[in-house]
Structure 1
């Protein structure tokens, strides 16, 4: 009986903390994204967000900090050859599972909040993506849609 109750509570927690996204079509994603680019992941790290009275619960949050080598920009401005974006860890927080040395088509939203990472640096006006955006592994069909939208 204890095992059944334990499994029930585990299953309920998985449902409670799962990611839930509303599907957006191509044109809606173009409109809502501040930055769209093709890039190759060159660095990936985990950062810890210090709650310091900014959260309802005094629990740290963790995010992935992902550095891309920009190959092509469709929307937004290129300021340098690389860009850093943030995403959740995945497994319930909608974070995208990026892999180093892999190319992606990334749709980003600009966020305007401050937070402290475990290296004590302030991050303002940062870009964020998730599995709820249209971000995907680089593929020719998505590239074709973007080229038709922005270069025709």
Structure 2
């Protein structure tokens, strides 16, 4: 059987389509390539985005800075000095980009000069920390990335 250029083009197209289909099937069935949304309820969170922008602006308008210190006991969060620490209420959310099961959130109120995130809940690696709190009716939002040893 002699292969002319027409049959060669058809055979090349069949091999190319088979090659592409192999990768499509592999990407859809292999669990290493799962592409879930980054957070649950992504679209609902997107609707409240203007409130987050306002809370970040409130945080930027504070005179002092929020400081994160990594110690042997965990992460110490120090609030700006102009705030009365006993009137702060809010929550801390720690997000682990590499493992969704390690994410956790805890509320706080009436703190001392600092807030301690205990070492027992943290493992080494990158963490995204979100600190959301209210003070005198205003909402404040602070976000940062840390590399925990």
Going by fraction, where is helix more abundant, 1 or 2? 2
| Structure with bigger gyration radius | 2
Higher relative contact order (CA 8 A, sep 6+): 1
Normalised to the residue count of structure 2, the TM-score between the two structures is: 0.30
Normalised to the residue count of structure 1, the TM-score between the two structures is: 0.30
